[in-house]
Structure 1
Amino acid sequence: MTARPEPRALLRQHGLRCTPGRLHVLAVLSASERHLSTAETCAQLALTGEVVHPTTVYRALETLTAVGLTHAVHAPGAVRYGASGEPHHHTVCQRCGDVAAVASRHLTAAAGKIEALTGLRPDSSGSLLVYGRCAECSG
């Protein structure tokens, strides 16, 4: 994934106030290599020494998703959030709910073939969801 602007600049670009909760949540998601649930985001914040109430984290995630700074992936169990940036698709483990990003460039041909066969196009986010079992759950 490519480098993203600093969280404060991103919030301002999208017309949002730079509240501590939004700044911290966006920083955690931007630094994470995984998509995180609300609870996992709270846990990551706690590891950095930031104590943010779960309701504040949830509201920040909803606001950031509404303006396109983050995106939500509905997996088994909790919804998981990732920082939006380089276009990518998602794999979702049907057993543990883990979500992984796959750069769009790696699936361009597959996405084109799916559209040719079915007429189905990726949604406005450009993301395809591929469900299966991750290496840990299938082994």
Structure 2
Amino acid sequence: MSGNPQLAHHDLTARPDARLLLRRHGLRCTPGRLNILSLLSAPELHLSITEACERLVHIGDVVHPTTVYRTLEVLTETGLTHAVHGPGATRYGITGEPHHHTVCQRCGHISALASAHLTEAVGRIEELTGLRPDTSGSLLVYGRCADCGDDL
């Protein structure tokens, strides 16, 4: 754990639930894993590897991008985080309540949508096409966010 006092509110090393969560998934509780889980713990937050590195540096934890990438890959393989692919860099979010994602095709902004809001639509999509959410329970919906508008 870093001695930086700014890191204390982001650091999960003192939280037994994060440690327990990692152990349940067969993972060691390293400071890097705990800090990355802490970064992603805000609801609806999805960060690229570059953004995660920048935030870690900002809170005083300088980590090589390769380490962040490998950590996110391990956390994603075990289901603790999930990857959202869209235009630009892959973004990672914490896996919690089942949800879907909207992805702006222009700027890459990602928003989470609670599964409950789309239950009927997902059922209808499956009925019409046979397409079901992936193993994480997520569908990706692509379009343009309000900031990017309709202009091509």
Asked if these proteins are the same fold (TM beyond 0.5), I'd say: yes
Alignment of 1:20-99 (within 5 A): 20-31=31-42, 33-99=44-110
**TM-score scaled to structure 2, two decimals?**
0.84
Q: CA, structure 1 residues 99+84, in 2 after alignment: closer, same or farther (shift >3 Å)?
A: same
**Aligned with 1:8: secondary structure?**
helix
Give me the identity figure in percent: 70
Mapped to 1, the partners of 2:109 and 2:100 lie a distance apart of: 14
Mapped to 2, the partners of 1:135 and 1:9 lie a distance apart of: 39
Q: CA, structure 1 residues 40+32, in 2 after alignment: closer, same or farther (shift >3 Å)?
A: farther
Q: Structure 1 residue 40: deviation in Å?
A: 0.7
Q: Any unmatched runs of 5+ in structure 2?
A: 1-15
Q: Which residue in the other structure is 2:135 paired with? A: 124
Q: Which residue in the other structure is 1:134 paired with? A: 145
Structure number with the bigger relative contact order (C-alpha 8 A, sep ≥ 6) is 1
Root-mean-square deviation (CA, aligned residues, Å) is 1.4
Q: Structure 1 residue 32: deviation in Å?
A: 5.6
